[in-house]
Structure 1
Amino acid sequence: MFKIEKATTNEAQLIAEIGRQSFLESHGHSASEDDIKNFVDKTYQEKAIAEEFKNENVQYYIISYEDKIAGFSKIEINALSPWIDEAAVTKLDRLYLLEAFHGKKLGVALFNFIIETSKQHNQKGIWLAVWVENLKAIKFYTKNEFKIVGNYDFKLSDTRSNPNHIMFKAY
């Protein structure tokens, strides 16, 4: 019923569209309308996403359900973190699922796929930043053996930052 495939630069526009929509769905209320609009306009554009594919450690994966694109993830292999004393760790930079596909266990499937992909790259763990108000995500990651190891202010604009937890799961 679902399929996960590694994305290429050919999907940069699709990833940008999904990123924009899912960010608005999950974080659209976290700042002013202008701050959110400026952030998504800068972050979720085809050119910006395509540029990320130049980094060989960055990998995007697209999940589809019944032949419809449901979401994507972005990881970075060997992504150093000031909160973690290990070089061989993966950063789970994004795991976005469109609201229309919530409740179908697709997020869990994509998450498990990312963990296995990270392990296949001989990583020692995986880390991420999660908005402190995203209690559903924090509960999910805690249930999956992530520990809060630090805090980070996610900069949305020159005048707005949202507090995030840095969470880490060792393998």
Structure 2
Amino acid sequence: MDLIRPARAVDAPLLAALGAQVFFDTYATDGVNLAIAREVAEFFTPERFLALLQEPTVELLVLARGEGLLGFAQSQLGLTHRLLPPGRPAELQRLYLQRRCHGQGLGARLLRAAEAGVAARGAELLWLDAWVHNQQARAFYAAQGYAELGADVYRYEEDVHETRIYARGLGPENRTP
């Protein structure tokens, strides 16, 4: 049985490995280049996840099956973006799910848990950016009631990647901006 729960310190090595796996599957579409390798080495380490677990504005939820992790959601309260309306936002920084788990409703369950978690902590809106070439993710967020607010870019070192900003209201009416 699959269980969504808060991440624990013991999960840090699993989160690092899972994060790297999903990152490579999603973004290394033309192979692993130096920038992708450096980005994975910087962001997907057990130490990085241990630090995130200590950050009071960050919420890390995992989707566990037995002793293994199938996915995770990482969100942070208080982060805003120029395209967002005024209010109390939270950013969904990562919603990562192993590719073999796509199409089973697990991503939607994990997303709803992340929304509930940040809403319980006062967020009125959850937003995210999605790589413009990740059509599967963009369609998923649209199907989950997220409105596309406009274009932006993601920068890592000298690389610049076009993204789209999505947001969904977290109030009782689940409004979108």
After TM superposition, the score normalised by the length of structure 2 is 0.87
Change (3 A) 1:67 1:101: farther
Give the match for residue 97 of structure 1: 97
Q: Structure 2: any 5+ residue segments left out of the alignment?
A: 171-177
Give the match for residue 119 of structure 1: 119
Give the match for residue 155 of structure 1: 155
Count of aligned positions: 170
Alpha-carbon contact 1:19-1:44 (below 8 Å) kept: yes
Q: Which stretch of the first structure deviates more once superposed, 36-45 or 139-148?
A: 139-148
Please say if 1:49 is aligned against 2:49.
yes
Give the match for residue 135 of structure 1: 135
Percent identical: 20
Q: Which stretch of the first structure deviates more once superposed, 161-170 or 116-125?
A: 116-125
Report how far residue 145 of structure 1 moved. Answer: 2.1
Letter in 2 for 1:6: P
Report how far residue 52 of structure 1 moved. Answer: 2.1
Q: Deviations over 1:109-140 (max 9, x none)?
A: 10111122222223211100100111111111
The SS at the match of 1:141 is helix
Give the match for residue 11 of structure 1: 11
Q: Which stretch of the first structure deviates more once superposed, 29-38 or 55-64?
A: 29-38
Give the match for residue 168 of structure 2: 169
- Measure, in 2, the Cα distance between the counterparts of 1:155 and 1:44: 17
- Measure, in 2, the Cα distance between the counterparts of 1:53 and 1:86: 28
Change (3 A) 1:129 1:151: same
Give the match for residue 83 of structure 1: 83
Letter in 2 for 1:151: A
Report how far residue 18 of structure 1 moved. Answer: 0.7
Q: Deviations over 1:129-165 (max 9, x none)?
A: 100111111111112221222322112332x121111
Letter in 2 for 1:170: G
Report how far residue 53 of structure 1 moved. Answer: 2.5
Change (3 A) 1:144 1:102: closer
Alpha-carbon contact 2:108-2:144 (below 8 Å) kept: no
- Measure, in 1, the Cα distance between the counterparts of 2:89 and 2:112: 16
The SS at the match of 1:128 is strand
Change (3 A) 1:10 1:65: closer
Change (3 A) 1:155 1:31: farther
Change (3 A) 1:139 1:100: closer
Alpha-carbon contact 2:24-2:32 (below 8 Å) kept: no
Letter in 2 for 1:108: A
After TM superposition, the score normalised by the length of structure 1 is 0.89
The SS at the match of 2:85 is coil
Q: Structure 1: any 5+ residue segments left out of the alignment?
A: none
Give the match for residue 39 of structure 2: 39
